[in-house]
Chain A
């Protein structure tokens, strides 16, 4: 019951907080669209091959492009309110449908990468903290610093060389074996084997971020009085670390995880392109190549909304970890 109330408070707070940000993103999006070379009429005209001045003017009038900027902004907002992100002549479908089709792919990749990053990062960070200043810490610190410095897509490429080209263990293209028509377990295994490399490539940088953070906050927690209380109860040191230290140390980690969600999505653009993964990021690049800016900006808009939603999820996780949040 108390948990329910805290969740409600957290959600309410997040909604109040996110509102203006969403509006800001939409307006920013609109102005980028204004700045883009050419407008929808130009795109249509190019698609059609040629168009006279009059038809161009008629098209502009039809799209409302000849109206003052503010009116156009209101139109834009109005369309958005009806979940209308425009039509993509190049892909011959509505922008929203196009993006929604790619959304699950990106979500799967993101969640898996974040999971990898948190899991590996927490383990590495805890090990480093437990042996702080000794050789396991020094060795892992170097490894982590290297991961922190390597471009994720390069890690992916090197992983392809090793695991796909040399060892032939894992596939390096797409999200499933084309034309295999697998079912049941082998279908899942196939999807998972396609997921491993891109997720690891995307996770590599964040593994380093979380490992460093967990190390610092675990060391910080060791100095707290409640750790002595826990040891004074005669509890197993491993249990003390797991139950008493880690849970406290994870609170700052979730905060930082939230701050890095945008970066994670940004990284997905390169990684998805590299691995031919059918997601929003690759769609963004396809849109750039096709010079279809409504799609590009649609991706930007939806990614930002995704970050906001994910941040709410992080807030809830935060509330679960820290009973002080969401009360009063």
Chain B
């Protein structure tokens, strides 16, 4: 049984649907990268798993099974026992995702004391250990600092310390390194990867950076305009992306799996914009697709599973 299984999830905002019948699953200890351009529904999917959608968004249909139980049927109180303990979240902007007026020590200890019966003193000792764990030097002094005393990379480390404090089974990392510079990015991702092995947690890594995916993920799910268009293991995906959108993302070079690749080959420009999917009755990618045929515009193509891979395009096959 998968640790997390999202089944046919649809999420709507007033006036538009952000996520269409998306399904994916994640095994314990595994890293799944959810990839797509900004606005394609990746973050909305992640927030649905935590049941932390903005007030005007709503899950329309589907199930989110965590350890076999549907999170969408949990009461708010049950959900709060899960958040921070079983599933935790790292957000994109380390500058704004820590509370500016509370010390980092307080922000770490409050999650420990929420989920475990420990004294204030024990919680503080644990917080210092955690800061050590995420390689913050001088942890016992730094614990009384406020977020503004720390650099962006340091803050993201604090976020990670907070997220792993109660040993969660699943960590959702929403573009954890987008706001950081390249060297810090690699350090933070290495740290995340290391912690994932040590703490045996699964990571749902949300990103638009294929370089990050290639180096740190086990599997990939590509999202376009609220739909998952391709799912695959990392090696075969980078060896041969199937969906025209995935191919576009990777550009012409699809064979390389070397260090330089991640550094040089970021998102390649695809002509047109994701906004063109709005008026499309058929395949959302049809307006930008190089191999579109009239049939593509009739109905959104279903995700067809072929062995370990799945792709939502009848024009290509594994």
Contacts and interface: CB of A to CB of B under 8 A. Distances in A.
B199 interface: no
A243 B102 contact: yes
A181 interface: no
Given A228-B52, A229-B89, A229-B159, A235 B80 contact: yes
User: Chain B, interface size: which category?
Assistant: 20 to 34
Interface string A306-328: 00000000000000011110010
Nearest to B165: A233
Interface in B251-281: none
Contacts of B84: 232-235
B111 A234 contact: yes
B102 A247 contact: yes
A248 interface: yes
A100 B84 CA distance: 57
A224 B100 CA distance: 11
B115 A234 contact: yes
Interface in B80-135: 80-85, 88-89, 91-93, 96-103, 110-111, 114-115
A236 B81 CA distance: 10
A233 B102 contact: no
Contact of A323 (B93, B101, B111): B101
A233 B97 contact: no
A220 to B, nearest CB: 13
Interface in B43-65: 47, 50, 52
A226 interface: yes
B24 interface: no
Interface string A210-251: 000000000000001110111111111000000110011001
Given A228-B91, A234-B115, A321 B110 contact: no
Contacts of B100: 226, 248, 322-324
- List the 4 closest pairs (A to B, CB-CB), nearest first: A234-B83, A233-B84, A234-B84, A232-B89
Interface of A: 2, 224-226, 228-236, 243-244, 247-248, 251, 321-324, 327
Interface of B: 47, 50, 52, 79-85, 88-89, 91-93, 96-103, 110-111, 114-115, 144, 146, 148, 159, 162
